[in-house]
């Protein structure tokens, strides 16, 4: 298996621009998670989906952030408009959710976002 | 509610010395516990996991961790540090569904030659 795939790996943009991060989860996994990692705040869960449905988006910082999962093999995290404080590494993770069992999360390599 | 606390954001050990990274959890129900490692410019990789089976869990690269309910701890150890162990280590706790993952703030391990 190719693992969780994220694109782009690096993104540099200017303040005010729209940024779209992409994630392809492991085939067969039914849960997908978006995290943000910064030096100041560590690893934060932004949102997660079960069976393509957003379950908990309480970690999404503000309305400038939105996430979608149109199908089981693709998700996007969009920031519009972007701000310098959004600069971070964004990780996508996926897992197979089964009733009554733990669900190890598998992480992608991350997208390093720099907003100038 | 669940949470984890990692004591010590930075730990330095000499090559060949014992590695001990501390993690304490808070959970109202028996949790699942995990240690992840993050090498520079890479994503998180699972080192080991505890899922209510044996309390001493062995993971990859010679690491192991012991679940101690009485101490609400899940400390990570390795008998002899190697230079390649230098990385960021994260402890995490989840509920029984695994959908809520709570990560600690991480511990950066430096190995001194």
Q: Nearest by CB to A42, which of B45, B101, B106?
A: B106
- Binned at pLDDT 50, 70 and 90, residue A100 comes out as low
Q: Nearest by CB to B99, which of A42, A91, A97?
A: A97
- Binned at pLDDT 50, 70 and 90, residue B1 comes out as low
Inter-CA distances, B52 with A32, B1, B72, Å: 24, 19, 13
The answer to whether A23 contacts chain B (CB < 8 Å) is no
Residue A84 is classified by DSSP as G
Task: Measure A100 CA to nearest chain B CA, in Å.
Answer: 6
Cβ of B90 within 8 Å of Cβ of A43? The answer is: yes
Tell me which residue of B51, B49, B55, B60 sits closest to B87, measured CA to CA: B60
In this structure, are residues A5 and A23 in contact, taking their beta carbons and an 8 Å threshold?
A: yes
Q: So what's the pLDDT on residue A82?
A: 96
Q: Kindly report, residue by residue over B76-100, the tens digit of the pLDDT.
A: 999 999 999 999 999 998 877 666 7
The answer to whether B105 contacts chain A (CB < 8 Å) is yes
- Binned at pLDDT 50, 70 and 90, residue A51 comes out as very high
Task: Measure B108 CA to nearest chain A CA, in Å.
Answer: 12
**Euclidean distance between CA atoms A25 and A96, whole angstroms:** 10
Q: So what's the pLDDT on residue A1?
A: 64
The answer to whether A55 contacts chain B (CB < 8 Å) is yes
Task: Measure A25 CA to nearest chain B CA, in Å.
Answer: 14
Q: Kindly list the residues from chain B whose CB atom is less than 8 angstroms away from the CB atom of residue A91.
A: 43-44
Cβ of B106 within 8 Å of Cβ of A43? The answer is: yes
pLDDT surpassing 80 at residue A71: yes
- The arrangement of strands across the sheet holding B56-58 comes to B3-7, B19-26, B73-78, B64-68, B56-58
Q: Nearest by CB to B32, which of A93, A102, A108?
A: A102
Q: Kindly report, residue by residue over B30-80, the tens digit of the pLDDT.
A: 688 999 999 988 889 999 999 877 889 999 999 999 999 889 999 999 999
- Mean pLDDT score, A23-52: 92
- Burial (Cβ within 10 Å: 0-12, 13-18, ≥19) of residue B57: buried
Q: Nearest by CB to B97, which of A45, A97, A107?
A: A97
Q: So what's the pLDDT on residue B110?
A: 97
């Amino acid at each position: 298996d190719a693992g969780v795939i994220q694109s782009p790996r690096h993104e540099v943009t200017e303040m005010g621009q729209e940024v779209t991060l992409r994630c392809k989860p492991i085939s067969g996994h039914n849960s997908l998670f978006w995290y943000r990692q910064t030096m100041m705040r560590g690893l934060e869960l932004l949102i997660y989906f079960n069976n393509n449905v957003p379950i908990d988006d309480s970690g999404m910082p503000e309305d400038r952030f939105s996430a979608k999962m149109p199908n089981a093999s693709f998700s996007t995290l969009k920031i519009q408009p972007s701000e310098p404080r959004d600069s971070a590494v964004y990780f996508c993770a996926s897992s197979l959710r089964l009733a009554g069992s733990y669900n190890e999360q598998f992480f992608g390599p991350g997208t390093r976002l720099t907003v100038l | 509610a669940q949470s984890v606390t990692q004591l010590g954001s930075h730990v330095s050990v000499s090559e060949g010395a014992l590695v001990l990274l501390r993690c304490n959890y808070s959970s109202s129900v028996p949790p699942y516990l995990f240690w992840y490692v993050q090498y520079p410019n890479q994503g998180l990789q699972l080192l080991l996991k505890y899922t209510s089976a044996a309390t001493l869990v062995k993971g990859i690269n010679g690491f192991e961790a012991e679940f101690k309910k009485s101490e609400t701890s899940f400390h990570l150890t390795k008998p002899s540090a190697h230079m390649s162990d230098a990385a960021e280590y994260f402890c995490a706790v989840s509920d029984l569904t695994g959908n809520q993952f709570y990560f600690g703030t991480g511990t950066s391990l430096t190995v001194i030659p």
